[in-house]
Amino acid sequence: MLKLAYVNLWHLLGNLDEHMHLVAPVLVRLFKVELVDIRRRAIITLTKLIPKVGTHVSALVHHLKLVLDGNNDDLRKEAAEALCSLAHALGEEFTIFIPSIRKLLVKHHLRYKKWDETENRLLRRELFISDNLSVQKYTQCPPDVISDPLDDFEGVPSEEADETQRQPRSHQVNDVRLRSAGEASQRSTREDWAEWMRHFSIALLKESPSPALRTCARLAQLQPSVGRELFAAGFASCWAQMTESSQEQLVRSLKTAFSSQNIPPEILATLLNLAEFMEHDEKPLPIDTRLLGALAEKCRAYAKALHYKEMEFEAVCSKKMGANPVTVVESLIHINNQLHQHEAAIGILTYSQQHLEVQLKESWYEKLHRWDEALRAYTMKSSQASGPLQHSQNLDATLGRMRCLASLARWEDLSTLCREQWTGAEPPARLEMAPMVVDKSSCPFIDNF
């Protein structure tokens, strides 16, 4: 377990700067455990971290001196190597530690050629050359770190590892594993979908042709959010190498996930990101854009929803899709309003009126806050109402006119209209009218209601 922890630390070296105050003390405490191998690995790992130790230098030197003062020759040698690396990293600033270290070396009759060279150069204030062997030793990762972490071997001798890395290795995507991991027909609850996403994302990373993504598979097993973040990249990297039948099965699984009523929003958002990623990669998934648009709107991902609705609108305009233009236009107006793109919404309305012969709805003007035009439209609707639906049309037009008058602050006109319509209105209609009348004194009948 500790060996794996050391390997993971080496993997994360580039991201540990702000966490050194947590990592360094833990590694230093391992200097005192009984197992020599653990102590040795702790020293080697800290040596690798030396360029990042910063304010922890004094504490690190102190504990390395305690190792020098111990009775294990192998650990003493590693401690001396670490001190040499510290000296190279700090330069003249390390000079202050030389007398106490020299005292310990004399006490135990220890001689290390590298230390002697380092000490002499520091005392002579000579610059260290960057290709010094002691520095090189700790700027290279060991074979078990730089090899593919998904391989099942513990490690190989350095010569063999170097030879292995010179030979390019191709990785064949296992379609069977991916189809099995992506199977979604038996998923129903939120917990099922969370487990499906975790399992599928890890499988994609393990099977990815990209060595960088395969390296992240272990981390994704420990932290599921990593798998979700890399889900689209892993999927895209595997997609090109899969057979057509495997691709079709994965698409069916995705459609099952999209149609589930219990899939968590964060997983649905991840799948929508996948669809967007594949489209950007010029490998769009064969999934109906109407479904993607509806789901994006459901997740309140309005930018994605706008993209898919615009594609649907273009298909309607070019007669490639038999969708209802009125429904598409209404959705576009709503989405643009949500994105505060009111000019775009007005443009959609104007274009639809001129080119699609769409019969405009009065409510569209309300959504655009074009109250004067909405008021005229509702007034015209009221005058044209006829037939068996006359009553409901009149009621809808009357309530629309009242909303417009209230928004335009035309209170006298609103009160007059309310008095005219109140007597013949049924209780549900009166419930909608009453809150809109601000001047209750001009409509005393409202108080009684």
Question: 319 and 427, same structural domain?
Answer: no
Residue 181 lies in a domain: no
Residue 116 lies in a domain: yes
Q: Is the pLDDT of residue 393 over 70?
A: no
Domain endpoint, select from 120, 147, 174: 147
Residue 171 lies in a domain: no
Across 263-282, average pLDDT: 93
- Going by C-alpha positions, the residue among 198, 172, 356 that lies closest to residue 266 is 198
Amino acid 152 reads D
CA distance 360 to 345: 13
Q: Which residues contact 17 (CB under 8 A, 6 or more apart)?
A: 52
Supply the pLDDT for residue 286: 93
CA distance 299 to 293: 10
Across 229-241, average pLDDT: 94
Question: 142 and 21, same structural domain?
Answer: yes
Domain endpoint, select from 283, 313, 339: 283
Report for 132-136, 153-157, 343-347, 419-423: range of highest mean pLDDT: 343-347
Residue 424 lies in a domain: yes
Q: Which carries the bigger pLDDT value, residue 321 or residue 55?
A: 321
Question: Do the beta carbons of residue 214 and residue 148 sit within 8 Å?
Answer: yes
Question: 376 and 331, same structural domain?
Answer: no
Cα three-residue angle 390-360-289, rounded to 5 degrees: 120
Residue 176 lies in a domain: no
46 falls in which pLDDT band (50, 70, 90)? confident
Question: 140 and 209, same structural domain?
Answer: no
Question: Do the beta carbons of residue 194 and residue 265 sit within 8 Å?
Answer: no
Range of the domain at 213: 187-283
Q: Is the pLDDT of residue 144 over 70?
A: no
Whole-number CA gyration radius for the chain? 36
Question: 295 and 277, same structural domain?
Answer: no
Supply the pLDDT for residue 178: 92
Question: Do the beta carbons of residue 237 and residue 277 sit within 8 Å?
Answer: no
Q: Which carries the bigger pLDDT value, residue 3 or residue 133?
A: 3
CATH assignment of the domain containing 53:
1.25.10
Mean pLDDT, rounded, of the chain: 78
Report for 8-12, 196-200, 345-349, 367-371: range of highest mean pLDDT: 196-200
Instruction: Give the ranges where 285-426 is alpha helix by DSSP (H).
Output: 289-298, 302-317, 325-338, 342-355, 362-367, 371-384, 390-407, 411-422
In Å, how far are 16, 126, 210 from 51, measured between CA atoms?
Answer: 11, 20, 30
CA distance 184 to 197: 10
Question: 72 and 37, same structural domain?
Answer: yes
Q: Is the pLDDT of residue 6 over 90?
A: no
- Going by C-alpha positions, the residue among 51, 52, 124, 115 that lies closest to residue 78 is 115
Question: 140 and 36, same structural domain?
Answer: yes
Supply the pLDDT for residue 257: 93
Supply the pLDDT for residue 232: 95
Domain endpoint, select from 92, 116, 147: 147
Supply the pLDDT for residue 416: 84
CA distance 414 to 446: 13
- Going by C-alpha positions, the residue among 206, 207, 208 that lies closest to residue 217 is 206
CA distance 137 to 78: 12
In Å, how far are 2, 33, 110, 207 from 39, measured between CA atoms?
Answer: 11, 7, 20, 36
Supply the pLDDT for residue 126: 67
Question: 109 and 35, same structural domain?
Answer: yes
CA distance 305 to 336: 10
How many structural domains compose the chain? 4
CA distance 258 to 270: 11
Residue 158 lies in a domain: no
- Going by C-alpha positions, the residue among 94, 84, 30 that lies closest to residue 58 is 94
Residue 399 lies in a domain: yes
Phi then psi dihedrals of residue 341, to 5 deg: -105, 70
- Going by C-alpha positions, the residue among 371, 395, 366, 367 that lies closest to residue 381 is 395
305 falls in which pLDDT band (50, 70, 90)? very high
Across 26-53, average pLDDT: 75
Task: Specify the pTM.
Answer: 0.53
Residue 97 lies in a domain: yes
Supply the pLDDT for residue 132: 40
Question: 137 and 6, same structural domain?
Answer: yes
Question: 336 and 389, same structural domain?
Answer: no
Across 311-322, average pLDDT: 80
Question: 342 and 312, same structural domain?
Answer: yes
Q: Is the pLDDT of residue 82 over 70?
A: yes
81 falls in which pLDDT band (50, 70, 90)? confident
- Going by C-alpha positions, the residue among 393, 404, 398 that lies closest to residue 418 is 398
User: Is residue 194 helix, strand or coil?
Assistant: helix
Amino acid 45 reads T
Question: 277 and 196, same structural domain?
Answer: yes
243 falls in which pLDDT band (50, 70, 90)? very high
The per-residue pLDDT for range 167-181, each reduced to its tens digit, is 445 678 888 899 999
